[in-house]
A and B are shown apart, each in its own frame.
Chain A
Amino acid sequence: MKKKILCCAALLLATVLLLGFLQLLLMPKYMADKQEGALVGEYYRETTAHDLLFIGDCEVYECFTPPTLWEEYGVTSYIRGSAQQLPWQSYYLLEEMLKRETPKAVVFNVYALKYGTPQNEAYNRMTLDGMQLSREKLSAIRASMTEGESLLSYLLPLLRFHSRWDELSAEDWQYLFHRDTVSHNGYLMQTGILPKTSDREGVPLADYTLPATAMFYLEQMRLLCEEKGVALILVKAPTNSWRYYWYDEWDAQIADYAEANRLSYYNFIGLDGEIGLDWSTDTYDGGAHLNVYGAEKLTSYFGEILCRELGLTGHRENAEIAAVWEEKLDAYKQEREKGNTP
């Protein structure tokens, strides 16, 4: 009898291990393709604290470069952004980050405030699957699920990705137990150039009121930062293509909110001259996002403002931090160089 029980227990254990292995194998790795999906998880590899935390959607991880902030100002920063990162996802990610560290300021890009409801399962996955299991992750999942999604499938991703067994590639085996780092402290480098050719405006909307849910989470972010003694700075990246248009009416609402709550709000749209942006060379997708050259210009410009406003002096004198960051900067420059090589 005892032998039978032991055999059954061993079988069950073997099954659980097999399922665990299958889960590791079948989950998308986001290494060669759709690298945005790997961004959120990379934060946990950080060994040093940061002066600044950027949060938001693609406009943060494509427009601000932490290595440039280090190189020019000695400021340490991290971008916690992913594709179509919704306001509540940003909030819960921020909550999770502020449990781990206390930066001087949090910079939130406001574009995603146009979303008031869960949008897309694939983007949800890219943001949420990378989060470590925590109360914040569970809350973020609950707030983000679209129809047909289940909490269980986030806790056991095998339930979601089981059907990938017939599309496994070499990448899935290669990155079974580890992942490469695809970003530079959350910045996803794009070295291509596709000039902006149109100044088309966005289509008119029936209602320009930013969704109450989005504004609720913005307020939650503000309260959280206030509680932790961290400054909250609102920004809007300079990109404004007709596909991802930032309406004046939205801008006015954010400006009013910032004023009412004594927050800084920087809308970089239209500041091309001051920043030095050239839309014929500084975008990789026709103006929807900046490439590395544009991002460096914007970061350089914004870095000065941040240092001035927050009184940041940098950490160049701290040998330990400097060593970590110089290594990051080298990796950044190497990739930039590689991208420049035809």
Chain B
Amino acid sequence: MSFTSASFLLFAVLTLLLYYTLPKRWQWILLLGASYVFYFFAGAEYLLFILFTTAVTYLCGHLMQKRADAEDAFVEANRETLSKAERKEFRAAEKKKRFRILLMGLLLGFGVLAVVKYTSFVLSGISSIGQAFGAAPLRIPELLLPLGISFYTFQSMGYLIDVYRKTARAEKNPLRLALFVSYFPQLIQGPISRFGDLAPQLFSEHRFDGFRFRAGLGRVAWGYFKKLIVADTAMIAVKALVENKDGGFTGVYVLLLILLYSAQIYGDFTGGIDITIGFSELLGIRLAENFDRPFSSRSTKEYWRRWHITMGTWFTDYVFYPLSVTKSMQRFSKWSREKLGTAVGKRLPVYFATVTTWFLTGLWHGAGWNFIVWGLLNCLVILVSQELQPLYDRFNRHFPRLTASRAWGAWQALRTFLLMGLIRSLDCYRNVPTTFRMWASMLTDWNIGELFLGGLTSFGLSVSDWCVLLGGILLLALGSRLGKKRPVREWLAERPILLCAALCLLAVAILLFGAYGIGYDASQFIYNQF
């Protein structure tokens, strides 16, 4: 049941009607039922996977909590008799036991993800190596990839780590935990929520709040606008440019692809998240924001603080920081400082953790070398920028007026946008050597003139499609600009008549200009595949 299907709209309206008419204490039970119905429609066979992850998460969380409670009770009961050192020793021993449970949970949770998502990738790699040495090719099994498995696995495993760290208490009620794992608006493309933020909202009672409801409605409509008008129109061209890459779409067309794919993925992903967050607002639930006008970022590091925020913070909190403070990393740090000097020595562990984090980020996005290279290239840009920071600082000191100007800021944003777009094109071609070849063609094929000789309409977009797309992008930019201090929808929510007019206009625009139905490829949200 895609967000853009009529069945989802009907499902959403029915859920909302029941949500606000049933007794409030049943609201979370209704959400749980709705979530499983939603997932059932995605594929009944997927239910097994989410049930397994939920069961593992519940059991491991429950066991860790039991141990943690017993540990606290023991320490409290023996506070007088045990010395500080003994207490510390006892807690360390208990932590180890909890860690074993955590490890089991992580292995089972991530294990399922690894098996369904990466088996084919690993086996094809092994098969390729084997074939190079004359072995017969391996038969690669086609495994089922449950919808949204990366998202709900990360959310569940984050919860387990929080319970292990004692930053969250394990949920006693398995049904409530099941809702946390399967909450349907965010099930298939995030945001990746934290238990401490989401759970209290899921289980509390919600009264109908007119203002929030109107704001949520505005956000949902805006999300559909982004997806159906901007993303899906851009997709027509992106698809044609990629599929016919060998038919002459090189040089300037690659640049066009980069720009169009940026529009597509922005409209698609932020549109999907707007629908998710907006629909949650209709239910009275506030989800974490996942984007903060990322295309106005002035550096890669800033970009990644503003794009897919919840995934970035997940990797930072659960991979980068823990990895940086492991005992072995500390030993490595000490060793490198001694052997390689302070300058290099202090960088190496950070680099190692950064590279590992980005490698995993790439792998999270998909089982393919293009995703891994995508992750590592992002990492490279961040590390190089970090190394060049002293140089930038000197430049800033020498040209303070220039670097403080708006034009300089705009240049930095444009540079970051293009660089990120370039790296992102690995996602389009899905093949590393092809992508590199296409990048090189931007320097070798000077075919810009073709664009004005019918080239702009040679990849599926008619003149009217271009007008719709550019108009849509302009509106997105305007919305982003106007909503810098306060989201436009909140301003509109205080003015119901204006909001109603805006919703009517959006509905007409989407119905008329949206790239949906026969004649257009049915387009799922890009992040559903992750």
Contact = CB atoms under 8 A, between A and B. Distances in A.
A226 B516 CA distance: 44
Interface string A6-19: 01100110110011
Interface stretch (A153-161, A179-187, A214-222, A251-259): A153-161
Contact of B517 (A4, A7, A162): A162
B522 A148 contact: yes
A253 B276 CA distance: 57
Given A15-B507, A121-B518, A165 B500 contact: no
B384 interface: no
Contacts of A152: 6
A145 to B, nearest CB: 11
B502 to A, nearest CB: 10
Nearest to B497: A7
Q: Taking each of B501, B504, B520, which has the highest tally of chain A beta carbons within 10 Å of its own beta carbon?
A: B504
A7 B6 contact: no
Contacts of A15: 504, 507-508
B496 interface: yes
Interface string A119-157: 001000000000000000000000000001110110000
B518 A165 contact: no
B504 A149 contact: no
Interface string A68-112: 000000000000000000000000000000000000000000000
A162 B512 contact: yes
A24 B138 CA distance: 58
Given A8-B496, A12-B504, A14-B504, A159 B511 contact: yes
Contacts, number: 53
Contact of A7 (B500, B507, B512): B500
Nearest to A1: B496
Interface residues on A, range: 20 to 34
A206 B56 CA distance: 54
A71 B51 CA distance: 74
B518 A11 contact: no
Contact of A150 (B6, B462, B511): B6
A114 to B, nearest CB: 25
B518 A160 contact: yes
B508 A166 contact: no
Nearest to A146: B518
B294 interface: no
A14 B6 CA distance: 22
B514 interface: yes
Interface string B481-519: 000000000000000110011001001100111111111
A22 interface: yes
A162 B509 CA distance: 10
Interface in B319-361: none
A149 B517 CA distance: 8
Nearest to A147: B522
Given A11-B504, A166-B462, A160 B496 contact: no
Main secondary structure of the interface of A (DSSP, over half): helix
B518 A148 contact: yes
A163 interface: yes
A78 B243 CA distance: 50
A160 B6 CA distance: 13
A165 B497 CA distance: 28
B464 interface: yes
Q: Taking each of B497, B501, B515, which has the highest tally of chain A beta carbons within 10 Å of its own beta carbon?
A: B497
Contact of B519 (A7, A11, A14, A163): A163
A166 B517 contact: no
B496 A165 contact: no
Contacts of A7: 497, 500
Contacts of A165: 464, 512-513
Given A153-B517, A162-B517, A18 B464 contact: no
Contacts of B501: 11
A168 to B, nearest CB: 11
B514 A162 contact: yes
A82 B514 CA distance: 31
Interface in A218-246: none
A159 B496 contact: no
A4 B497 contact: yes
A148 B513 CA distance: 19
Contacts of A159: 511, 516-517
Given A152-B6, A166-B462, A166-B464, A12 B512 contact: no
A22 B6 CA distance: 20
A158 B508 CA distance: 11
Contacts of B518: 121, 148-149, 153, 160
Given A153-B517, A162-B514, A12 B500 contact: yes
Contacts of B519: 163
Nearest to A158: B511
A19 B508 contact: yes
A18 B508 contact: yes
A158 B464 CA distance: 18
Interface string A191-215: 0000000000000000000000000
B285 to A, nearest CB: 25
A163 B6 CA distance: 18
Nearest to A163: B519
A160 B514 CA distance: 11
Contacts of A12: 500, 504
Contact of A8 (B500, B508, B514): B500
B114 to A, nearest CB: 34
For the complex of A and B, 9 pairs with smallest distance between CB atoms:
A166-B464, A15-B504, A8-B500, A7-B497, A152-B6, A11-B500, A162-B512, A11-B504, A4-B496
19 contacts: A7-B500, A11-B497, A15-B507, A18-B508, A22-B508, A22-B511, A121-B518, A148-B522, A150-B6, A152-B6, A153-B517, A159-B511, A159-B516, A159-B517, A160-B517, A160-B518, A162-B513, A162-B516, A165-B513
Given A4-B496, A7-B497, A19-B511, 14 more contacts: A15-B507, A15-B508, A18-B508, A19-B507, A22-B511, A149-B518, A160-B517, A162-B517, A163-B519, A165-B464, A165-B512, A165-B513, A166-B462, A166-B464
